[in-house]
Structure 1
Amino acid sequence: MFDKLQFIKDKFQTIEQQLSDPEVVADQNRFRKLNKEYSSLKEIVRAYDDWSRAKKQLDEALSMQKSEQDPEMRALVEQEACELHERLPELEQQLKILLLPKDEADSRNAIIEIRAGTGGDEAGLFAADLMRMYQRYAERQGWSCQTLEVSEGSVPGSLKEVSLEVSGHDVYGILKFESGVHRVQRVPETETQGRIHTSAASVAVLPEAEAVDVEIRKEDLLMDTFRSGGKGGQNVNKVETAVRITHVPSGIVVACQEERSQLQNRERAMKMLRSKLYDIQIAEQQKSRADLRRSMVTTGDRSAKIRTYNFPQSRVTDHRIGFTSHALPQIMQGELDPLIEALRMHDQSERLQAETA
């Protein structure tokens, strides 16, 4: 492992020199590519430097421990050596995690699709709650969150389905574990007997695809326009600005009506279509590695119930990893960091076990 780390550090230093070369700076494509690689290696090199310093300090402390005659100084050196002995394994574990193969899609933006499931109107209200939860989490992260498509439910404030585009740093890598069926247990506002109802909504998180990721032939597309039914200004019901695209080979249908112009809606609809097709490619690749990675967190099986939000007990439980929190109000306000961090740590542990198996 440490030979590999030294190779990475040498490569990092070479790239660092290249980035200051005027010829490289003048070639913007090459500069961007090198800068991206530099950024991906920076955290590994920093962690390796931390380990190297700690290892050197430990060696020096052990050497002083043998030669030091002063009892007080010897005790201080022994204490320092003991602390470094404990720290080195932690730094090595961090390095092992950083060296795990990266999922190329992790650094991409994401599209979140939320659909009301079983539970009638209450499921639609819960779908709207989930949408707000992710919007607030995105805001906390400093990400951009835009609505691509929305279909309102039969009661005010409810949703049949909604698609959100979330843009920022490592969005898909952070949100990908949210895919699955989310269940809610609470007393609906319309319930007169005070009985707890169970409803559900499904969440799908897709990596945003670039044009080069998926080949889409024009002859495979059916495109039609219609009048937007939502907000959009005075022309919203007079001009057919909304766009619906059908990808014939896969049967996938996407639509967008949130923008004011037909061109903008068509561009956003194509972005959604590319992401859906790219997600199919990713799923097929993951399926081929399923025998190595059995964790529910890593398979992204959307048919499974992944989480329960129990309002009477103010409890949220993620069933894949046995994580429970009694901070439900904060989570619904977008404070998802503890939950997402637990999922990421579980995923890293599973991958480390697979690497060493």
Structure 2
Amino acid sequence: MLVRGCGLRGIPTKLPAIRLLPRWYKRFYSENNNSTVLSDDDTLHKNELPLVLIKKAEEYSKEFIDLEKRLTKGENFNVDDQKRFAKCSSVAETLKTYEESLSELRELEEMINMDPSLKDDAAKEIAIKTPRFNELSSSLLGKLLPVHPFADKPCLVELRPGVGGIEAMIFAQDLASMYMNYAHIHRWKHHIISQQVNESGSGILSAVISIDQPGAYDRLRLEAGVHRVQRIPATETKGRTHTSTAAVVVLPQLGDDSEKTADAYERTFKPDEIRIDFKRASGKGGQHVNTTDSAVRLTHFPSGIVISMQDERSQHKNKAKAFTLLRARLAEKEQQEKEAAGIAARKEQVNSTDRSDKIRTYNYPQNRITDHRCGFTIHDIPGVMAGDKLDDIIDATRTYDTEQKAKNLIVD
């Protein structure tokens, strides 16, 4: 059962009302709390959080009391103190409601054991209150999980073909259309920053899409990885199914692609850190191609990142777009390095476009899409590619990601 809600600034979410956490979660609770855990056949399982997570929530509650005392004494709070106060307050309030709801359910369960004549009435009350309790459990867990530092940012979606030649280029173009359709359905502002089309006219060599909705990065960041397609290409004469791949990279957008912003960001680099080369744009020809030095190539020496941009006729506009992309890649690289330093850091972006690194398969003959991280499968390729059903896959991967982070919280 999924209950639709509304996320950050209009970003759609689905809050799992029942069974957010899988079997490992139930086993952990049973082993550590001496509680009877219902089987998978039970439709209303009470998702109590493990004691170790409740203790973490109680620590936030104690910190909230201390911060509240400081506030009543008239102490000045800086920005960090204010953020911490808001987080602790939210956790404390949710924990209180969670414990009250859990207490009510336990009383009803005891009522059934003590007075069988009240079993039917108590069971009805349990059926009504359990979904609400599970929503509180999910909410409290979400508040305990660390928030991604770029969660509230817009994003850049970068696509490039992998293994498979022309078919891989066509698939990369299909994915680009899917994400633009998704943005259009949710009424998010978006535009193409850069797109290099294959000379034959079939598919793309690369594309970068800017999705300007705040919070879009958090919604789409788990789309990053190698996507694999299995289908019969239009050029296939013998009806054989081909396998191709395309890489998707999702980057946080930390600034716009205006020339003023780019100039300000350029000044943050030392002269020996970055090189800017200008050259004539390549292509089939035309009034502006190969006639002016409008193409820009940025080389950032410390990271080894190289960015080329030639979509605009203006050299200044190409330079601004190149710096926007550089800024996003450097921010993501820094965040990845921080995550890699952790005990259970998880690699979230693409290091190669090899088939073995796939996160998702689009099987056209079977009209099936399977995400290999969480095992979620949907039989509606047209609906997903049109953007209508993509939320179903995103919600499944986000739930899986929540489960993994909850494991890490318990281990830590």
CA RMSD, 1 decimal: 4.0
1:117-196 to structure 2, matched below 5 A, reads 117-196=162-241
Deviation at residue 248 of structure 1 after TM alignment? 2.8
* Distance change in 2, residues 1:174/1:147 (3 Å): same
Residues 287 and 199 of structure 1: CA distance in aligned 2, closer, same or farther (over 3 Å):
same
1:292 corresponds to 2:317? no
Structure 1 residue runs without a partner (length 5+): 18-23, 25-29
Query: Contact 1:207/1:275 (CA < 8 Å) preserved in 2?
Result: yes
Report matched runs for 1:91-106 at 5 Å: 91-106=136-151
C-alpha displacement of 1:3 = 3.7
Match of 2:152 among 96, 100, 107: 107
Is the 1:183–1:200 contact (alpha carbons within 8 Å) kept by the matching residues of 2?
A: yes
The structure carrying a bigger helix percent of its residues is 1
Q: Measure the CA separation in 1 of the matches of 2:396 and 2:294.
A: 43
Using a 3 Å threshold, how does the CA distance of structure 1 residues 264 and 76 change in structure 2: closer, same or farther? same
Q: 89, 98, 101: which is aligned to 1:51?
A: 98
Distance 1:261 1:131, change over 3 A: same
2:151 is paired with a residue of what secondary structure?
helix
Q: CA deviation at 1:194?
A: 1.2
Aligned mates of 1:326, 1:62 — CA distance in 2: 40
Instruction: Compute the displacement of 1:92 (Å).
Output: 2.4
Paired residue for 1:223? 276
Match of 1:352 in 2: 406
Q: CA deviation at 1:152?
A: 0.9
Once the two structures are superposed, residues 23-60 of structure 1 have per-residue CA deviations (whole angstroms, 9 ceiling, x without a partner) of x9xxxxx99x9998899789768855753664686699
Match of 2:391 among 329, 337, 351: 337
Quick one: structure 1 residues 12 and 87, their matched pair in 2 at CA, closer, same or farther if it must change by over 3 Å? farther
CA gap of 1:141–1:49, structure 2 versus 1, over 3 A, is farther
Structure 2: stretches of 5+ with no match in the other structure: 1-53, 256-263
**Structure 2 vs 1, CA of residues 49 and 262 (structure 1 numbering), >3 Å: closer, same or farther?**
farther
**C-alpha displacement at 1:197, in angstroms?**
1.1
Say yes or no: does 1:243 pair with 2:243. Answer: no
- Deviation, 1:227, is 4.6
Structure 1 residues 8 and 156: CA distance shift in structure 2, 3 A: farther
Q: Which amino acid aligns with 2:316?
A: L
In the alignment, which residue of structure 1 is the partner of 2:17? none
Q: Deviations over 1:147-205 (max 9, x none)?
A: 11111113224101111111213111111111211111111111111111111111111
- TM-score when scaled to structure 1? 0.77
Q: Which residue of 1 aligns with 2:258?
A: none
Identity over aligned pairs, percent? 33
Match of 2:272, as an amino acid? E
Distance in 2, Cα, partners of 1:261 & 1:218: 24
TM-score by length of 2: 0.68
Letter of the 2:298 counterpart: I
Q: Distance in 2 between matches of 1:258 and 1:44?
A: 47
2:169–2:205 contact (8 Å) kept in structure 1: yes
Contact 2:224-2:248 at 8 Å conserved across structures: yes
Partners in 2 of 1:136 and 1:46 — Cα distance? 38
Q: Is the 8 A contact 2:309 2:322 kept in 1?
A: yes
| Alpha-carbon distance in structure 2 between the residues aligned to 1:59 and 1:143 | 44
**3-state secondary structure, aligned to 1:142:** coil
- Tell me how many residue pairs correspond in the alignment: 335
Q: How far did 1:347 drift?
A: 0.7
Q: Partners in 1 of 2:328 and 2:402 — Cα distance?
A: 25
